[in-house]
Every structure is written in structure tokens, then in C-alpha cells.
Chain A
Amino acid sequence: MSNPSDHKNTEEESRWLDSTENVRKVIRWFYGLCVLIILADLIFSLGWHKHAALAEESSLHAIETLPAFYGIYGFFACVGLVYVSKVMRGWKGKNALMRSENYWEK
């Protein structure tokens, strides 16, 4: 399935995404989108009544209805996720759960 002709030709045309400038452009658009959704949330929270997912008597009710709660939660969830995963791989240079690829065959 894999054969040498699959590999890159030297005279291959370069793609739009090959240029770092364009990648930066995409990332900038993405930041803009993030700001936009926060603005939408803000306007929606102030201007209309946002439905709360949690019931009134729930301890997190007040926090959940704050604008940008979901964004901040999602952001920190992912940062936490990545850091915990890194610890799962190894801690202070020692492997925790990570092993070499032929580990099971050993």
C-alpha cells in the first residue's frame, strides 16, 4: 500500500496552507470568532433572558448563567485535560503510563 512513489515530489506546487502567513491568517480569524461568540453571549445574557440549564435552587445556578461561563469552563477543562494527560505520560522525566511500542511483545 505504501510505496516510494507516494512520497513528496520536489517540484510539487505549494498549497495555500503551506505558507505560515496564511496559517496565521486562519488563526487570527479563529480568535475573531472566539471574541464574536463571547460578545454574542454577553449581548444575549444582558438583553434577553438566557435559559439556565440548572434549576434555581442549584448551587451553581448563579455561576452558570454568567456570560462566558461555558467558554471559560471549556478553556480550563482543556488546559487541565492536557496537563493531566502529560502527567499520565510521565512525571519528572520518568514514565508513568507510557511504554515503548513493542512493550506488549516483550
Chain B
Amino acid sequence: MNVLASTLDIGAHPATALLLGGLATVFLRGRFASIVLILAPLFGLGYVATLDVGASSTLHLFGYEILGVVVDQQAKLFGYLFHIAALVAGIYSFHLRDPWQISMSLLYAATAVGVAFAGDMLSLFLWWEGLAITSVFQIWGRRTKQAEEAGFRYLFFHVSSGLLLLAGILLRYHGHGPESLSLAPLTDALEGGDLGALLILLAIGIKAAFPGLHVWLKDGYAEATHSGPVWLCAFTTKCAVCMLARLFPGAEVLITIGGVMAMFPIFYAVIENDLRRVLCYSKINQIGFMVVGIGIGTDLAIDGAIAHAFTHVIYKGLLFMSMGAVLFRTGEIRGSHLGGLYKTMPWTTGFCIVGAASISAFPLFSGFVSKSIIITEAARNGHLLVWLCLLFASAGVFHHAGIKIPFFAFFAHDSGRRPKEAPINMLIAMGISSILCIFLGCNPQWLYDLLPNGAAGYHPYDATHVITQLEILLFSALAFTLLNLWGKYPPELPSVNLDADWIYRKLGRGFLAFGEGFWNGLNDRAHAFFVMEITDRVCLFLKKGHVHVMKLLHRPFVVVGLLDGGGAKGQADFVKRTSLGVHPVGWTALFCMLFFLGFLLLIFI
């Protein structure tokens, strides 16, 4: 069976265009590389459109059959999404001249497409590891010490995720045999207490930024290059959402996790000064909506989660692009040091506001047509508390991402900065995203038709929805306005806020300090005892022991007068002779005889 054989229903792997593009840009330089950055996703997008639902391809390797590609409706939707995201991010990064960043970004997009189309656990694992390794270059590309360290922390989380996934797959393989390698839902196994399923959930949970496992996101993205988060925000977390929807639909625990994810980041976002980090927190909040949708598990709720992932990639990318443009032009991203940029960056301001309106789910913008499905399904299925949390989170996300981001970057107090408008390629990328946001908001049916269940029977534009949504948004804005006018709104302060990363960045350091104190102290003591004390004594014994024994044996003879040398001089002379081993023949014979007599006695006794 050790033959390499493959069957292909389809011509090539859907990620081929991006993979080839990524490899080509390793060797190309300058504009040529940038052109590939745009052409590769375009070819890939065209190819995904030709794939038939139901097609698959397998690979026989070392007696195993790896289901490399399975095309279903969900995979196709994510395939479109990842190619569109790569295309937009590619246009945005057109001016980049760093070959590492360019080639790795295409390979990163390719691995994401690989995850979306993966047919079994083995191929999933390979692409999953690829995601971790290729993405970190968007952080390291900034080439600062902070970025380098953040990159390693990022890698630590994602490599752990890969290892947990592998451990989960192996546990399940040993427990349940080859059937467990399929990507069939694991919800029942998880709820039945299967350890393998739990590890797989944890692996996906790291990438989906579950509470407590989320810090890599706000840590890594905020240290990335100006274009880095545009790539990063599109793929990693969406691959996790894609896999959650495949493997854990209807898992009750996800409703609670998603509710917490939707809630806690908004508090952080209000007091966070780094505007890209604010976007990171709002990203966790938005993924929380998707996780709740998957947890509810009805066809419509899962459709809502997937639709939300689709719209989210586009509007979150748009917001990260606008903040990236600000960082690119001013070298600054702290809210406390920005303000008044609308005067010289009007287009960026406009695009940012479109992104803000979309993430806030204003009617006619893309967030509205996807987020409302999840909220409605939460209410319909009787999750009252979660429904209240999601409403709170919708108000909160408008408050911090919808208003705070554009307000503190482009309006607020005038920082005196007058940067140039963003470069034309960035404006084109932001323009495409903005058009998509509005297009999807106005024509939700285009998106719904791509969903696995077609969002059957859901109509977002019903008068109750529109009015209640506008009401919640306008009154959130009213709260912002009034608190600002009354001076009660927390000002942007140059600061950082402690999050779960304190555990490993400070407590961990404390643990290291403790370890250093304890183990090094133990080592010092052991050294003092075993090396200094005992060895010293052994050396002393070997050096002086025989002299001492001879002195003890010699003494009685002197006392009874058999031998001379009773005086101090005689003693010293004896000690000297003993240590050098030179005695008169008579003495030596005497002591030998004494030893022999001693041994004789011992034998008879």
C-alpha cells in the first residue's frame, strides 16, 4: 500500500493559485511581486466559482487515505470569502516591497483556503499548522523588538493550537478507529465527555479567541505592520469559525462562551488607547456573535454565523485598512495622539465610517443582514439572557467601534497632524470593501443564496427590525454624545490595560523569578554542602588521615616508654616522617607486625 496515488474529481486543489502565487513571489521583486499579489487571488476566485458541490479528491499515502478536498456549500462560501479578502488585502499591500511579507501573505491565504476545503482531520491538521507559521510574518514584518516578541508569543499560542488538534485527532483515532478522521460533527462526543473532542474544541478555541485564550489577538495584531492586520483578521479566526460550524454545531457550551466573548471585550475597548487594539477587542466581540449562532445550532442560526463571518471579514478588514492607512501616514495609532485627520484624509475617513456603520449593523450596511439573524434566533430559541447580552453587545460595539474609532482618529480634538491622504492602492482597496459592505447590506439575497441552508425564510428588512435596530443604535450614540458633552466619557490616555496576558507576561515572570530564586538557591546550598564541605573533608582525610591514625597508634608506645619521641619536637618529627612515609626500618616492622596481629585477632574472633 506504500504507493502515492491520488484520485481527483477536480482539476487541482482550490488553493493552488494562491500557493503558486506565494511561491512565485519568493523569487519576484518590486512591482512584479505586487502584480502576482493581485492576480493569484483573482485566478483562485475564478477557479472556486467553477467547482461543483459534492466533488472531492483523495490522496493515498503510506496506507492512509487522505481526503484532501471536499467541496460543499460552506467550503465554497469560505473559498470565495478568503479569495476576496486576499484580493482586497493584496491591493492594499501593493506598495509593499518586503518579499517575506508578500510571499507569506499569499501562502497564508492559501492555507486558509486549504482549511475551508479540508475533507478530513489529517488534511485539516496540515493546513492548520500552515496557518500558524505563515501568518506570523505579518507581525515580524514590522521589524521592531516589540513585534518580534509579540510574534513569538503569537506563535506560542498557534503552535499549541496545532498540537492540541493533533493530540485530539490521535486520541479519537485510537479510541474510534479511522471513522473518527472524518469531519462529521463532534457535538455528541463532546457532550458525552470525549477527551479527544474536547482537545479539538480547545485547539479551535485558541484560534477563535475564546475568553482567556484571546490575548494573542490583541497582542499580535496591534504590533503587526500597517497592512498585517488586514491579512490576519481575514483568515485565522474565520478558519476557526468555519471549523466550529463543521464540528460543533449545536454544542450548548458555545452559547455561554459566545455570550462571554460578545460581552467582555467591549469594556476593554472603551478604555483602550491603541485604536487597532480597540478593533481587536471588537473583533472578539463579533466572533462571539458567530460562536453563539453555532451554539444555538439551528439551520438558520448556523447560516447566520457563517453569513456574519462573511460580512465581518469585509467590514473588519475595511476598518483595519483605514487604521493601517492612519498608521502608515502618521506613524501613530494611539487615540490620545490622533484627531482631526478628516481634514487631510477625507476619503479614508469616509471609508472608515462605512466600516463603522457596517460593524454596528446599521440597516443598509452589511452587518445588519447577518447579525440580526443570530440575535433573532437567540430570542426565538428561548435564550433570554444571551439575547440580552447580544443586544448589549450590539449597543456596545456601535459605541466603541462605530463611534470611538472614527471619532478619536478623524475628529475629536485636533491633533495638529496634517498627513497626506492614503496612497491610491489603499484607497482602491478600501473603496472595494466599502462597496461590498453597502452592496451586501442592500442585497442580502446574494449572500443568503451562498449559505449552506440559504437562510431559509429570513427577511432582515422587516419594519420592526429596522426600527428597533435604529433605535438601539441612535440611543447608544445619544449616550456617547451626552457623556462626552458632560465630560463623563473616559478620555484617551496613553496607557495599557491588564488582560489575561498578565498571567504569562507578569505572573509568569514572577514564576520564573521564584524558580530562579528557589532552584538556584537549592543549587547553591547543594554546591556548598556536597562540593565544598564533603569533598573538602574527604580530601582532608586522604591527606591527613593516615598521619592521625599513626599518631593514635604511636601514642601508647611513647607513654609506656617503649618508644622515644615524647616531647613536642619528637611528636612533630614523627608527624613529618609519617606524612612523608619515611620511618626507620624497625618502626615500620613494628607497625606491620601490629597490623598483622590485629588482623589475626579479627580472624579468630
Contact = CB atoms under 8 A, between A and B. Distances in A.
B330 A44 contact: no
Interface string B341-358: 011000000000000000
User: Which of B463, B476, B481 has its CB near the most chain A CB atoms (within 10 A)?
Assistant: B476
Contact of B495 (A54, A73, A100): A100
B496 interface: yes
B550 interface: no
Contact of B464 (A51, A55, A104): A51
Contacts of A94: none
A72 B420 CA distance: 41
Size category of the binding interface on chain A: 35 or more
Contact of B474 (A9, A54, A71, A79): A71
B271 A89 contact: yes
Interface string B465-504: 1011111111111111101010011100111111100000
A81 B488 CA distance: 12
A82 B488 contact: yes
Interface residues of B, number: 64
A82 B270 contact: yes
B495 A99 contact: yes
A37 B471 contact: yes
A74 B419 contact: no
A81 B266 CA distance: 8
A91 interface: no
Of B470, B485, B488, chain A has the most CB atoms within 10 Å of the CB of: B470
B478 A34 contact: yes
- Residue of A27, A75, A76, A89 contacting most chain B CB atoms (<10 Å): A75
Interface in A1-47: 1-2, 6-9, 12, 15, 17, 27, 30-31, 33-34, 37-38, 40-41, 44
Given A27-B485, A58-B382, 19 more contacts: A7-B417, A9-B418, A17-B342, A31-B478, A37-B467, A41-B467, A53-B379, A53-B387, A60-B388, A73-B391, A73-B395, A75-B478, A79-B483, A81-B267, A81-B270, A82-B490, A85-B271, A88-B271, A101-B494
20 contacts: A1-B331, A6-B417, A8-B416, A31-B478, A40-B467, A53-B375, A55-B379, A60-B388, A73-B392, A77-B395, A78-B480, A78-B483, A89-B497, A97-B497, A98-B495, A98-B498, A99-B495, A100-B496, A101-B494, A104-B505
Sorted from nearest, which 10 A-B pairs have the closest CB atoms? A78-B479, A74-B472, A85-B270, A53-B379, A71-B475, A74-B475, A75-B475, A2-B331, A1-B331, A71-B471
Interface of A: 1-2, 6-9, 12, 15, 17, 27, 30-31, 33-34, 37-38, 40-41, 44, 48, 50-51, 53-55, 58-60, 68, 70-79, 81-82, 84-86, 88-89, 97-101, 103-104
